[in-house]
Amino acid sequence: MGADAKTAMKVDMTESAARRIAKIVAAEPGKTALRVSVEGGGCSGFSYKFDLVDSANDDDIAIVKAEEVRIGFDVIGDVTSKLYRYTIFCGPTRPVLYRRYCWHVPSRPDTAAMNAGAQRLLGENDFKSFASAADSRTDSVRTIFRCDVTEARKDDGHWVYVEVEGDGFLYNMVRNIVGSLMEVGLGRWDPLRISRVLAARDRTAAGPIAPPNGLCLMWIKY
C-alpha cells in the first residue's frame, strides 16, 4: 500500500458507525431502482470501501467487510465487472413468500430459446435499445461478458434465472433485456429478433420492461 493511503484517516468503526457512514456516502455503483435487491454492492467514504447486502435503510444493511483502499478510489469509475441475476417463478400459483424477490410468470417459457437470444447480446455493443427512455447518457456502448438463462425445478415450483455480467449497465438495461428475452421464451419472438432490437438503437424496438422485484446485483469487481 502506498504512503498516501497509509496516512489516510483511520476510522475505528463499530458496525453501527459503519452503517451511518454507509448511509451518508451510499453512492451505490450505478442507480439501483426501488425494490431491486443488492447482495454484493459497495460504497466508499473516508478512503474506505464497504460491501453491503442492501442499502435501502439501516435495518437492511449488513456490513460483511471493510477494507482500506487507495486515495482517489472511485466506487463507480473503478468498476471492472458487475453481475446481475434476475429471478422468475413460473407456475399458476403466485409465490407469496418470494413475491418481493421474483417475477411471477404463470406460463413456463422456453428457456433454450431465451438462452439462444441471450447469446446474441455478448460482446461490445450499443445497448441504447435496452436503456430507459429517461437515461440521458450519450455513451450507450457496454460490454457483456456473459448472459445465461438457466432453470431449476424445486419443491415449490419452477424457477428461471437470467444472469448478466458486464463492464457497466445503462439504467433499466437488465430489466429491459429480461423483458425482451421473455418475449422469446413465450414464443412471441424468434431469438434472432434480439439482434435486430440491438441494432435498432431504439427503446421502442425492445420488449416490455420486467418488474424490479426479480433483479439482484450479485457482486461488483474492482
| 203 to 24, 33, 62, 129: CA distances (angstroms) | 34, 18, 36, 4
Q: Which residues are CB-contacts of 199 (< 8 A; sequence separation ≥ 6)?
A: none
Residue 36 confidence (pLDDT): 60
Question: Is-contact 154 95, C-beta < 8 A?
Answer: no
- Helices 173-185, 193-200: inter-axial angle, 10-degree rounding: 150
How many CB atoms lie under 10 A from the CB of residue 113?
Answer: 18
DSSP calls for 96-123: GGGGGG-EEESS---HHHHHHHHGGG-E
Question: Is-contact 39 218, C-beta < 8 A?
Answer: yes
The grid coordinates of residue 75 equal 466506487
Residue 79 confidence (pLDDT): 87
Q: Which residues are CB-contacts of 154 (< 8 A; sequence separation ≥ 6)?
A: none
3-state secondary structure of 157: strand
Residue 60 confidence (pLDDT): 67
Which residues of the chain have a pLDDT value below 70?
1-60, 155
Question: Is-contact 67 84, C-beta < 8 A?
Answer: no
Domains of the chain and any CATH numbers? 3-68 (no CATH), 81-221 (3.30.70.660)
Residue 54 confidence (pLDDT): 45
